[in-house]
Amino acid sequence: MAFQIGAALLDACVLAVLDKRDVYGYELTVDIKSVIEISESTLYPVLRRLQKDGCLVTYDQPYNGRNRRYYSITEQGREKLKQYRLDWEAYKNGIDKMMKGEFEHE
DSSP letters, 23-67, are EEHHHHHHHHHTTS---HHHHHHHHHHHHHTTSEEEEEEEETTEE
| Whole-number Å distance between alpha carbons of 43 and 34 | 14
Percent of the chain with pLDDT over 70: 96
Encode pLDDT of 19-33 as tens digits.
999 999 999 999 999
pLDDT at 106: 62
- Between 39 and 72, where is the model more confident? 72
Residue type, 18: L
Its pTM stands at: 0.88
Query: In CATH, what number does 8-99 get?
Result: 1.10.10.10
Contact 77/56 with Cβ under 8 angstroms?
Answer: yes
**Domain ranges within the chain, ordered by starting residue:** 8-99
The residue-averaged pLDDT of 43-68 equals 95
